[in-house]
Structure 1
Amino acid sequence: MLPTAPATPNPVALATRSKFTTVFINATACYLLAYLVVRLVSQATLVYMGRQAGIPGTWDISGVHFLLADGGWRRDTVLAVYCPGPAAIAGMAAVAFLLFWKWQRHRRGLAKLLLLWLIFHATNAILGGLLADTITQSGSWFVPNWLLGAGTWPSTVLGLLFGAVQLALGSMAAIPFLLAQDSRTVLQFDHRPQLVRYTILGPWLAGSTLLAVAAIPHLGLNEVLHFGTMGLLLIPLAQGVAEESFTFKKVLPSPTRVSWVLAGLALLGLLAWRLALGGPVAVH
């Protein structure tokens, strides 16, 4: 029996796999950077408003914790401290969407993808965040609980409604997400399963895992739930991307390369987040 020659790898398949690995690294870097920016804006605003109200507390990697008994809070204080953070990130998301839609969606580069992940994280922080905070009765849960009163059921209903809105927004984001991809190979309809795995689900799981590991031993149930509620946005997005027939882009495709600058910034941001908030920082 004559020996058979080893099968030679298909160069097209190898090039495609390499391209998807590259877009996975870039998408994960965007996921991490966008998360850190949204979290910084949200928590820094919360710290500032707490200081303005004269409420002591601590700030660590798990969040901001005010050292004030329940009896010391008033309705106007709760609204003044907890409302500006979501308002700030909602404004940031609106600006990011305007930049994406007006100036970036038909341009080459990763700026448009980073803007989309900023929008996704801001959306999850507000909509999915309320659902997660309602379960743990912390964070943004205080606003509807104090504003509406009548126990926890109004905030629970509102959290479920916000979760439903997030599902709807995720299903509407397929076209913008496809516009954020520069590679024609990645956009081909036959490659949609890989596109979903390498640019949506993979970055979500890998990015959330890196963030969770960086937060140990301060990682709590609330933050795990926040990572989970991101699925209310990304799973409908993944389904929409898998089914959407859009493959055409106005601009010429650009070479698919790893953005080491973006990846480096993401890792540096993660390290800075860990070092700065690895222990409680007093808020006065």
Structure 2
Amino acid sequence: MSDATGAESGGRSAKTFITAFNSTVIYLLTYLLLQGLYQAATVRMARRLGIPGTWHVSSITFSITDAEWWRLAVLAVYGIGPAVCAVVGLLAALWFWQRARLQRGLLKLVLLWTALHACNLVLGALVGDTFVENWAWYIPSWLFLAGNGPNVALAVVAALLQLAIGYFAAVAFLQSHDSITLMQYSNRPQLIRAGILAPWVVGSLVLTALKWPELSRNELFHFLTMGLLLVPMALHSAREPFDLTLPKSQKTRLSWTLLVVALVLAAAWRVMLAPGLQF
């Protein structure tokens, strides 16, 4: 009896580790993809408007003075990134809900984290950037031209929306995992630690190391505002009785392919942007 219990515990621990590993790799990969898309769209828009600058490891700086900006340019340059991420996030969420959640494999987890990162780069960024009064904060500032009051109010609304989305994303999180063992309600704490907390904490630390010493305050706040999604998602997941998975779920195994892709992308990010990419 004790041998069977030990084997069951060992199997659960192995699946927990694999889930944490895969989730963290996917967290990093989707973050870099979404952040890269956000910043690439910003650079492209700035180039179209004839605004020079430099793309750094953790930020983009522009080479024109404050007086040289005009209203349409501010809204276009600082708004294109969130707009692109909003579209990508919605498409990922729809793909996940309509098709991927009913399929085996890690695609549904990739789509889930893509949607979550996209949401954070739209709503969470507005919250975080309001604290440092730049980037997304410029959008309502130049849109309303009514002082800081509307900016703060909009940031509060964004925070509340992020909390609500995180709460309702709990079922999607549970459906993104194939492990029959970890999906059991009795093993829910392990699933939450492996599938939510580990990717957020470890992923943020790895990204900090990748961007250091150029880590911007904006990006640091974005790491923190991710909690507005993940904390309510974790709390709701802990109470959600849903514990079903696919009838023929895929065996839990390490995804070395995604790890290699994430490492290559991270290395390319550092090598290309460390000296500063001028545009």
Residue 193 (structure 1) aligned with residue 183 (structure 2)? no
2:29 corresponds to which letter in structure 1? L
Tell me what 1:139 maps to. Answer: 135
**1:1-284 residue pairs with structure 2 within 5 A?**
10-283=6-279
Q: What's the secondary structure of 1:83's corresponding residue? A: helix
How many angstroms apart in 2 are the aligned matches of 1:169 and 1:63?
27
CA distance in 2 between counterparts of 1:279 and 1:163 reads 35
Deviations 1:80-122 (A, max 9, x none): 2222211111111111112111211010000000000000000
The 2-side partners of 1:17 and 1:51 are apart by 50
CA contact (8 A) 2:183 2:245 kept: no
The SS at the match of 1:84 is: helix
Unaligned runs of 5+ in 1: 1-6
Q: Which amino acid aligns with 2:104?
A: R
CA distance in 1, matches of 2:61, 2:5: 55
Alpha-carbon distance, 1:251 to partner: 3.0
Closer/same/farther in 2, CA of residues 51 and 240 from structure 1, 3 Å limit: same
Aligned CA RMSD, in angstroms, stands at: 1.4
Aligned partners of 1:183, 1:95: CA distance in 2, in Å?
26
Residue 42 of structure 1: how far off its partner (Å) = 0.6
Identity %: 41
Bigger Cα Rg: 1
- SS of 1:257's partner is coil
Helix, strand or coil: the match of 2:99? helix
Tell me if structure 1 keeps the 8 A contact 2:78–2:139: yes
What's the offset of the Cα at 1:137?
Answer: 1.3
For this pair of structures, how many residues does the alignment match? 277
8 A Cα contact 2:177 2:245, kept in partner? no
- Give the letter aligned to residue 128 of structure 1: G
Matched position secondary structure for 1:105? helix
TM-score calculated relative to the size of structure 2: 0.96
The alignment partner of 2:253 has SS state of: coil
- Give, in whole Å, the separation in 2 of the partners of 1:32 and 1:24: 12
Moved more, 115-124 or 271-280: 271-280
Answer yes or no: is the 8 Å Cα contact 2:104–2:246 preserved in 1. Answer: no
User: Secondary structure at the residue paired with 2:74?
Assistant: helix
Are residues 274 and 9 of structure 1, via their aligned partners in 2, closer, same or farther at CA, if it must alter by over 3 Å? Answer: farther
Name 1:4's counterpart in structure 2: none
Q: Distance in 2 between matches of 1:242 and 1:137?
A: 36
Secondary structure at 1:58 match in 2: strand
Partner of 1:3: none
Moved over 2 A (4+): none
Superposed displacement of residue 238, structure 1: 0.3
Distance in 1 between the 2:35 and 2:219 partners?
Answer: 11
Q: CA deviation at 1:253?
A: 2.0
Structure 1 residues 229-267: Cα deviation after superposition (integer angstroms, max 9, x where no partner):
000000000001111000113432221100110111112
